[in-house]
Amino acid sequence: FGATNLGAYTYRTLVKVSIELLQDSAFDLESYIRRKMAIRFWRGMNAHFTTGDGSGKPTGITAASGGAATGKTGTTGQTTTIIYDDLVDLEHSVDPLYRKQARFMMADSSLKVIKKLKDSQSRPIWMPDYATNLGGGFPATLLGYPYSINQDMPTMAANAKSVAFGDFSYYFIREVMGVLILRLVERYADFGQVGFIGFMRADGKYINVNDPIKLYANSAT
């Protein structure tokens, strides 16, 4: 056994709202602000959990140091593309034990590229979820695996680690005490405003024993 330390990086956000807006709003504006601040926190943290370099921030899944290993690199010319065989190679670069709970993860623009791919029998490798949209059937899959859209994953470009595959339960996130939001009534009173300041502490690290997650890297040229 080794040891991995999960720390707690502090995230902070501030929103200032006019007193008039708080008084005249027809709905619970404070609750709305709190929800939006929580979304802002998670968007910021998701970017770090995906591409963070571990310097003053969490170590992301695609980090050069501490991130997942490359399971497949595209051949020359595939700077913005991927082929069917590469996806199969990426799948089989992960140990079968970890493929039982595996899924793909990529940006939406990468999924758009993959949707156009066909196997040797001209069959799309992306299985649509028509039946699910009608209230039954099965969700869309890629090579039989589910997938997640993560807009913080690098888009396909030279050397980009654009597609991840594996068991993402091996990426650990430590969230400390959730979101803390304070209402600042007096600080901005001379401007006729109320401040809402939020804090959140979290860290994330990939536990990469036996490489349960692998990455596809686009070609350099």
**Which tens digits make up the pLDDT trace of 1-37?**
778 888 899 999 999 999 998 888 778 888 888 889 9
pLDDT band at 124 (very low <50, low <70, confident <90, very high): confident
State how far the Cα of 131 lies from the Cα of 14, in Å rounded to an integer.
44
- Which pLDDT score is estimated for 66? 94
- Which pLDDT score is estimated for 27? 81
**What percentage of the chain has pLDDT greater than the value 90?**
72
Give me the sign of the Cα torsion angle 169, 173, 177, 180.
negative
Q: What is the pTM of this model?
A: 0.87
The kind and range of the H/E element at 216 are strand 213-217
- Which pLDDT score is estimated for 132? 53
Q: What distances in angstroms separate CA 77 from CA 83, 95, 125, 159, 218, one per listed residue? A: 11, 28, 21, 11, 9
pLDDT band at 141 (very low <50, low <70, confident <90, very high): confident
